[in-house]
Amino acid sequence: MAGNRMVLISDEKALTQYQAAKEETLSLYDAIYDFGFKETLGPENVYSGALTHKRILRGLPAPQILSESALRSVEAHFLKYISENCTSAVKEDGITVKAEVFHMMRSVSLDVSLCTFVGDSFAREVLDKKDKFRERFLEYQDLIEDATAQATVLPRVLSSRILNKVRILRAGLVAEIVAALEKSCLSIKGSEVSAEGKEAVTEFFRQMIEEAGKGPSDYETENTKPKLNGIPTVHRIAEYIIGLLFAAHKNVAITSAQVVIMLLEHPDAKLRVLKELSSLRKGGQDESKSKLSSSSPLAFLEGDLRVEDLNRLHFLDKCIQETLRLIQHSIGSMRKVRSNKGFHFRTSDGRKLNVPRSYYVGVTNAVIGREKFFASPENFDPDAHFKRDERGKLTPLVEGRDRHSHIPFSGGIHLCPGFSVAPLLIKALVVEWFRLAADSGDIEKPVPKLNFERATVAQRDGPCYLIFRHQER
């Protein structure tokens, strides 16, 4: 790619060695730097922000990040999106709404991510303006994917124009975020930055402010080009927010949209999900109001969602993982060989191989997810492909394969920093849409086919329109 050589692996034993390799042997940072992320996400995120987010996410329990107020905001953001963006018609049985599912899920996911990871006051400051921060950020995210694709397959001299365009767009978003931070929730005295009021920001964001104030670690400073010292703390925080939204909202949104499409295309699975919703008991409510009635089995569920409710949706878990299996990308992880000795590894059939210095090593997620070990690899069949082990963890139901059979959310070599939060956000988005649509949800036919041109999970060949009656609750 882009004149560079790459070795793709899917072998089980090779994946284990890939995972265990140290940064000085297989470098993540060199790979993402080489393929344009310095310009698109900025050096602060490449060398400092990503590690900062990982440290915080792994130290906070999911309910502390995804608070009850954040979950309540999901419905509000759906309603706001519907009122501002959807085509609707008033009919005898209610208001019929037509919405493009990917744009809807991306918009709602971005709004919820701002509330979840930063805080409500900041979210209102950037989202309630008439200059459409949301649309510009979605444009920025799409442009990143276009730019990264070009940087991956073209020499830098040919991809530099679009990379520079992304850099300029990012700089504008950073300036807007800085202004919103200063106005909504930060107190700035000289180089010191602190949260203004306990209710203004989330615990996640408070810790991010502290981390940003420390500056880069020795490792980050040593490997950063240019070095991060000297960047004003508030600008570093704004850059971190850009990187966080990039990582947190898009894959969650696209996966949520694909899960909705898969369930609408498979009515039996949809009915099982909705019946699973009916089993949730809401504290302080009458049981009859907390369950789907037998006379109207697809009626919407009343009450606010909680993290413990989402954790009980086991079949929906299976549907999400099965969707991810079908939409995960051909290259889902990439490293650059940094060691002068190359990267030595063995395969399951006993071969000894070496990848030379400056080559890239990539993991073929799509091959792993579609291999013969799955009962019907090309079909949506959650029960045939996933089970819960004795610890309650969802694992691939395959013969002769270990954890590398399924990579998403920290399966196998994919150490996703958001593995405790992202599945819950996906479930919240899917559940709230079905609660809004109740038994009226459908998708316009024909449904466009999967499209793998954009990273990092597959989208569709064209717009996908949901048609549903908006139910007042």
CA distance 165 to 147: 9
pLDDT for 224 equals 46
What b/e string do you get for 368-395 counting C-beta neighbours within 10 Å, with b at 16 or more? bbeeeebeebeebbbebbbeeeeeeebb
User: What is the DSSP code string of 398-463?
Assistant: -SS--GGG--TTTSTT---TTTTTHHHHHHHHHHHHHHHHGGG-EEPSSPPPEE-SSSSB-EESS-
With both helix axes pointing from N to C terminus, report the angle between 422-437 and 267-278 in degrees, rounded to the nearest 10: 100
Q: Tell me the mean pLDDT in the region 124-132.
A: 76
Over range 401-429, report the average pLDDT: 68
Q: How far apart are CA 462 and CA 23, in angstroms?
A: 39
- Assign 334 a pLDDT band (cuts: 50, 70, 90): confident
- Residue 160 pLDDT: 80
Identify the CA nearest to 85 among candidates 107, 60, 109, 110: 107
What is the amino acid identity at position 203?
E
Q: Over 90: is that where the pLDDT of 318 sits?
A: no
Rounded-to-integer distance, Cα 200 and Cα 7, Å: 48
Query: Does the pLDDT at position 449 exceed 70?
Result: yes
Mean pLDDT score, 274-286: 64
Report pLDDT for 219.
43
Instruction: Give the pLDDT of residue 393.
Output: 63
What does the pLDDT read at residue 163? Answer: 83
Instruction: Give me the residues paired with residue 346 across strands.
Output: 352
The average pLDDT across 330-352 equals: 88
Give the dihedral sign, CA 14/15/21/27. positive
* pLDDT digit string, tens, across residues 239-265: 999 999 988 888 899 999 999 999 999
pLDDT at position 107: 94
Q: Is 344 helix (H, G, I), strand (E, B) or coil?
A: strand
Q: How far apart are CA 384 and CA 389, in angstroms?
A: 14
Can you tell me the distance from the alpha carbon of 415 to that of 24, in angstroms, rounded to the nearest whole number? 18
Q: Is the pLDDT of residue 289 over 80?
A: no
pLDDT at 180 over 90: no
- Label residue 69 by pLDDT band (50, 70, 90): confident
Structure tokens at 374: 């799955």
Q: Position of tokens 């365009």?
A: 165
- Tell me, what DSSP letter sits at residue 328? B
pLDDT in tens, 356-365: 999 999 887 6
Q: 3-class DSSP state for residue 393?
A: coil
Grade residue 311 by pLDDT with cuts at 50, 70 and 90: confident
pLDDT at residue 301 above 60? no
pLDDT value at residue 120: 85
In this structure, the chain runs to a length of: 473
Which pTM value belongs to this model? 0.84
